[in-house]
C-alpha cells in the first residue's frame, strides 16, 4: 500500500490540473504577428560616403566602427549597407565580381566582422544588400560563360546566338542602346537590364539559384540579420524571348517585373535560407499592383517579409515638387492595402534618389530645420518600417552640379546620352538632372565644420557639399532644437508608443490643402499626428486639441490652440503628436 501512495498522489494532482480553467488562447494579431523588423527603425549607410579612416577618400568599415556610438545614439535598430563586395565599381558596387570577397577600399573580412559585432553589441541588426539580378562582367561566372558556348557556366547568363539575327528588343535602364550587348568572343549577345558591365544572371537555371542561396547562407552564418534583394523583381525572364510591343518600356515594371516564376524561386529561398536562419528579406520593388506586393510579402506565402515600393519617391522628380493631396493619397492607399495583411517599408530617400530635404521638405535656411523635422516626424509615425538615409537625420541637401562633366554616375551619363540623342532641350534636362540625380544623395557625410566635413583627411571620392560648415553633426549634437535631436526624439517616441507601429491609420480631413493629419489607434492608445506641410501658418478644427499633458512631440516651443472654436493654429512646418481619449 505504501508503494501505491506516490501513484495515487500523482493521479490526484493530474486531475486537479485538468479541472483548472484553461487560459484563453492569445488573440491572433491582425498584422500576422509582431516582429523586430516591424518595430525597428532602419538606417541606410552608403559605405564609401560615410566615414573614411585611412585618408584614401572612401568611407570604410573602420569609419563605421568609429561611429557606432553615434548610430546607437540615433535610436535606430537596423543598418542596411550598400554593397561592399569585390567590384570594378562601374555602378558603385552594384556590379559584383566576388560575392564572398570584400572590396579592399572598405577593409577586410575581419573589419567587417568587428563592425557587425559592434552593431550587435549595441542592439543594432545588420541588413546585407544582395545584388543577384546581375553580376559584374568581371565575375568568374561571366568570364567562364563568355569563354565558349559549351562552357558549364554558359547558362548562368542569358545569351542570344548572333546567327539567329538581332534579338528581340529589350530596354535597358542605363544603356540608351538597349539591353542586348554583342560579344565577339562567341559571336553572341548577352542581356543586361542595367549597364553593359552588369550582365543579368539566369534565374531560370537552378544552379544559379543554388549559388545565390549558398552566398546568402555564407553571410547569414557570419551573423547578418537580413537581406535587401536589389532589383529582384526583374530577376526572372521569359527565355522564349517574345517580341514586346513598341513603347512597352514606358510601363517597365509590367513588362520586365514580377513573372509568376519569381514566386517559386522566393519560396525556394525562404525554405533554404530565410526560415532556417531566422533572417528577414525585403525586395527592391513591389510589382505594379497591390496584389503583386501582397504575393511577395503576405506571411502565408512564405516568400519575403516586407514590400519596398517606389510610388512615393516618384512623386517629386522635377523642381516643381509635389502636391500634398497626391502625397496623402499615395501613403493612405498603400496603408489601406496593407491594413490587415503584409508589411511595407516607409521611406522618402535612398541612394537612388536626390536628397529628401530638397524633394519633400524645404532647403531654404529659414525653413530647413522645421520642415526636415516634420518629414522625419511623418516617417516615424506611419504604419510600416521607417527607412532613413544617412544624413537625413541632420538635413543634408542636394549639391549643385549644373554641368554633365561633374557627373560620374553611370545612370546619369546614360540618361544624358539618351536625351541628347533624342533631341531634348539639354538646358532643361540638366536643370532636372541637377535636381533629381542620385548623385545628390551620395555626397560625403557631414560630420563637422573642419576640412572635408570631417569625412576624410584626403581628397574625397566625391565633392563635399559646401554647406557642410552649417549643416553637420557636430553643430547639431548639443542643440536640443536641432534636426538631429528631433530625429532622436522621434525614434524614442516610436519605440515608446506601439500604436505608431501596429495601430490603425485613419486620415483626418483629407481635403485640407496644407495639413496632413491622421490618427493611429491601437495597443491601448489613441494618437493624433498633425503636420503642416506649408511654409505659411495654417489652422485646422479638431474634436480634441493638444494640451501640455497629452502632447508627445512638437518641433516648436509652443502650441497655439483656440478652445472656443476648437481650432489648432500651426506655424510653418509645425509637427505635433498628441494622445486623446
Closest listed residue to residue 530, CA positions, set 521, 517, 543, 539? 517
Q: Is the dihedral of CA 403, 55, 46, 237 positive or negative?
A: positive
| 190 phi/psi in degrees, rounded to 5 | -115, 155
Cα(448)–Cα(454) distance, integer angstroms: 5
Cα(102)–Cα(477) distance, integer angstroms: 33
User: Which of 284, 292, 335, 393 is the catalytic position?
Assistant: 284
Query: What would the grid cell of residue 571 be?
Result: 506655424
Contacts of 157 (CB under 8 A, 6+ apart): 141, 142, 145, 146, 190, 191, 199, 200, 201, 202
Quick check: 579 and 525 in contact, CB under 8 A?
Answer: yes
Cα(133)–Cα(131) distance, integer angstroms: 6
Beta strands (DSSP E) in 222-368 are 226-229, 280-284, 306-308, 345-346
Query: What would the grid cell of residue 77 be?
Result: 535598430
Quick check: 530 and 517 in contact, CB under 8 A?
Answer: yes
Cα(488)–Cα(508) distance, integer angstroms: 26
Exposed, middle or buried: residue 88 (CB in 10 Å: 0-12, 13-18, 19+)?
middle
How many other CB atoms sit within 10 Å of the CB of residue 568?
Answer: 24
Is 439 part of the annotated catalytic residue set?
no
DSSP tag of 134: B
User: Which of 129, 230, 292, 295 is the catalytic position?
Assistant: 230
Is 284 part of the annotated catalytic residue set?
yes
Cα end-to-end span (Å), the chain: 66
Query: What would the grid cell of residue 417 be?
Result: 546620352
- Give 245's Cβ-side CA count (13 Å radius): 6
Exposed, middle or buried: residue 18 (CB in 10 Å: 0-12, 13-18, 19+)?
exposed
Contacts of 359 (CB under 8 A, 6+ apart): 313, 316, 321, 322, 348, 349, 353, 436
Give exposure, 374-385, as e/b (b: 16+ Cβ within 10 Å). bbbbbbbbbbbb
- Give 269's Cβ-side CA count (13 Å radius): 31
Closest listed residue to residue 299, CA positions, set 335, 267, 276, 330? 267
Quick check: 76 and 41 in contact, CB under 8 A?
Answer: yes
DSSP tag of 464: P
Beta strands (DSSP E) in 93-154 are 98-102, 125-130
Which pairs count as long-range contacts for 240-247, CB under 8 Å and 24+ apart, including other chains? 241/160, 241/167, 241/168, 242/168, 243/168, 243/169, 244/168, 244/169, 244/170
Active site residues: 230, 284
Amino acid at each position: 500500500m505504501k508503494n501505491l501512495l506516490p501513484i495515487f498522489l500523482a493521479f490526484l494532482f493530474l486531475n486537479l490540473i485538468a479541472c483548472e480553467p484553461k487560459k484563453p488562447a492569445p488573440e491572433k494579431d491582425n498584422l500576422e504577428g509582431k516582429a523586430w523588423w516591424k518595430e525597428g527603425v532602419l538606417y541606410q549607410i552608403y559605405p564609401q560616403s560615410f566615414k573614411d579612416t585611412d585618408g584614401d577618400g572612401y568611407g570604410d568599415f573602420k569609419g563605421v566602427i568609429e561611429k557606432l556610438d553615434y548610430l546607437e545614439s540615433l535610436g535606430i535598430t537596423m543598418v542596411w549597407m550598400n554593397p561592399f563586395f569585390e567590384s570594378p565599381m562601374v555602378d558603385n558596387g552594384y556590379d559584383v565580381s566576388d560575392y564572398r570577397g570584400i572590396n579592399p577600399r572598405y577593409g577586410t573580412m575581419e573589419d567587417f566582422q568587428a563592425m557587425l559585432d559592434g552593431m550587435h553589441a549595441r542592439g543594432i541588426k545588420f541588413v546585407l544588400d544582395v545584388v543577384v539580378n546581375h553580376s559584374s562582367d568581371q565575375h568568374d561566372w561571366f568570364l567562364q560563360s563568355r569563354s565558349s558556348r559549351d562552357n558549364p557556366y554558359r547558362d548562368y547568363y542569358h545569351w542570344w546566338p548572333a546567327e539567329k539575327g538581332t534579338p528581340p528588343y529589350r530596354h535597358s535602364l542605363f544603356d540608351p542602346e538597349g539591353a542586348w550587348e554583342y560579344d565577339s568572343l562567341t559571336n553572341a549577345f548577352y542581356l543586361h537590364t542595367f549597364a553593359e558591365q552588369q550582365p543579368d544572371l539566369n534565374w531560370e537555371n537552378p544552379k544559379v539559384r543554388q549559388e545565390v542561396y549558398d552566398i546568402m547562407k555564407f553571410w547569414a552564418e557570419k551573423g547578418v540579420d537580413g537581406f535587401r534583394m536589389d532589383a529582384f523583381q526583374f530577376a526572372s525572364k521569359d527565355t522564349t524571348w517574345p517580341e514586346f510591343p513598341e513603347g512597352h518600356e514606358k510601363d517597365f515594371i509590367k513588362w520586365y517585373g514580377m513573372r509568376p516564376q519569381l514566386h517559386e524561386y522566393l519560396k525556394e529561398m525562404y525554405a533554404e535560407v530565410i526560415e532556417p536562419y531566422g533572417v528577414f528579406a525585403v525586395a527592391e520593388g513591389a510589382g505594379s499592383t497591390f496584389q503583386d506586393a501582397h504575393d511577395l510579402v503576405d506571411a502565408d506565402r512564405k516568400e519575403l517579409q516586407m514590400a519596398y515600393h517606389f510610388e512615393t519617391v516618384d512623386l517629386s522628380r522635377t523642381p516643381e515638387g509635389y502636391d500634398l493631396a497626391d502625397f496623402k493619397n499615395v501613403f493612405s492607399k498603400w496603408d489601406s492595402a496593407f491594413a490587415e495583411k503584409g508589411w511595407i517599408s516607409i521611406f522618402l530617400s535612398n541612394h537612388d534618389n536626390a536628397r529628401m530635404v530638397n524633394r519633400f521638405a524645404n532647403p531654404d535656411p529659414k525653413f530647413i530645420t522645421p520642415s526636415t523635422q516634420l518629414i522625419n516626424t511623418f516617417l516615424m509615425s506611419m504604419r510600416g518600417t521607417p527607412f532613413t538615409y544617412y544624413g537625413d537625420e541632420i538635413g543634408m541637401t542636394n549639391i549643385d552640379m549644373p554641368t554633365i562633366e561633374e557627373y560620374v554616375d553611370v545612370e546619369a551619363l546614360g540618361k544624358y546620352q539618351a536625351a541628347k540623342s533624342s533631341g531634348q532641350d539639354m538646358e532643361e534636362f540638366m536643370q532636372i538632372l541637377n535636381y533629381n540625380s542620385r548623385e545628390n544623395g551620395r555626397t560625403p557625410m557631414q560630420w563637422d565644420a573642419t576640412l572635408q566635413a570631417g569625412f576624410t583627411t584626403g581628397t574625397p571620392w566625391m565633392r563635399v557639399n559646401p554647406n557642410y560648415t552649417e549643416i553637420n553633426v557636430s553643430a547639431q549634437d548639443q542643440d536640443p532644437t536641432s534636426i538631429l535631436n528631433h530625429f532622436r526624439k522621434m525614434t524614442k517616441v516610436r519605440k515608446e508608443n506601439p500604436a505608431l507601429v501596429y495601430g490603425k491609420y485613419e486620415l483626418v480631413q483629407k481635403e485640407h490643402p496644407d495639413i496632413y493629419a491622421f490618427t493611429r489607434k491601437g495597443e491601448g492608445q489613441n494618437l493624433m499626428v498633425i503636420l503642416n506641410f506649408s511654409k505659411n501658418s495654417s489652422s485646422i478644427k479638431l474634436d480634441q486639441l493638444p494640451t501640455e499633458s497629452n502632447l508627445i512631440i512638437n518641433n516648436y516651443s509652443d502650441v497655439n490652440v483656440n478652445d472656443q472654436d476648437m481650432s489648432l493654429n500651426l506655424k510653418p512646418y509645425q509637427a505635433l503628436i498628441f494622445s486623446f481619449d
